[in-house]
Amino acid sequence: MECYPVNLLIEGKPCLVIGGGLVAERKVRSLVAAGAVVTVISPQLTSGLTELVEQKQIFYADRPYQSGDAAGYLLVICAANNPEVNQLASKEAQERNSLVNVVDAPEIGNFNVPAKVARGDLLLTVSTGGRSPALARRLREKLAEEYGPEYGLYLELLAKARQKVKTQLHSSQERLWFWRETLDDEILALLRQGRTQEAEAKINDAIGCIGIKS
């Protein structure tokens, strides 16, 4: 069945991770980075997760998963080393209309987590529908090589320019010309070289030039 892609805003939302291993730690760190309120249930934790507990960045229940634990969470990630525990938690969470990902058996959850490359606010994702995580990782590595940190800076500059475009370029044709002028490799090359001010000046010049042409 075809998946429906979505970027989920979970800041301040309750999320549960079942399991305390390395995979669980990766999931927890991603949730924390997105601003979620994270609870971990597991009788053991990695040193990284222990550190997050000590820093009060996550809540922790030091015990195995128990029936009913999944109640009240927007999102549940099942990453326990016990398939029976993951299956029970997934079933109970879905009965309560939670979003559920089972890391080693995505077919019994209701969403998959794509491989991602983040460059500031630019987010590139790859999904194989859970069929081949290895291929997803390989494609993510290729994307990471192709789209370096300069793309995050590029997006920041374009976001700043977008406000000027709205106020200074009034027609759709003018705005189309602007994006044609600024979405090019020359600005990216300047950013790769650390010449951010020159890149920004080139974008601003494009706005001015288009205004003169009109």
Which SS3 state, helix, strand or coil, does residue 180 take?
helix
Contacts of 131 (CB under 8 A, 6+ apart): none
Q: What pLDDT score does 165 carry?
A: 85
CATH code for the domain in which residue 91 is found? 3.40.50.720
Mean pLDDT of 37-65: 98
What pLDDT digit, counting tens, does each position of 13-25 carry? 999 999 999 999 9
| 143, part of any domain | no
Residue 101 domain-assigned?
A: yes
Number of domains, the chain: 2
pLDDT digits (tens, 9 = 90+) for 166-189: 888 878 888 888 887 788 889 999
Q: Residue 47: inside a domain, yes or no?
A: yes
User: For residue 142, what pLDDT is reported?
Assistant: 96
Domain end residue (candidates: 92, 113, 134): 113
Q: Per the structure block, which two tokens stand in for 164? A: 């000027």
pLDDT value of residue 212: 45
Task: Using a pLDDT cut of 90, give the percent of the chain over it.
Answer: 71
- Sequence-ordered list of residues with C-beta below 8 angstroms from that of 11, at least 6 positions apart, any chain: 34, 35, 36
Domain assignment present for residue 4? The answer is no
DSSP-derived secondary structure letter, 114: P
Instruction: Classify 71 as helix, strand or coil.
Output: coil
Least confident residue range of 21-30, 62-71, 138-147, 168-177 = 168-177
The predicted model scores a pTM of 0.82
Q: Which domain holds residue 195?
A: 150-213
- In a domain, residue 127? The reply is no
In a domain, 140, yes or no: no
- Residue 102 resides in a domain: yes
Q: Which of residues 77 and 127 earns the better pLDDT score?
A: 77
Does residue 78 contact residue 89 with C-beta atoms inside 8 Å?
yes
> Are 18 and 109 in a shared domain?
yes
pLDDT in tens, 35-49: 999 999 999 999 999
CA distance 41 to 20: 7
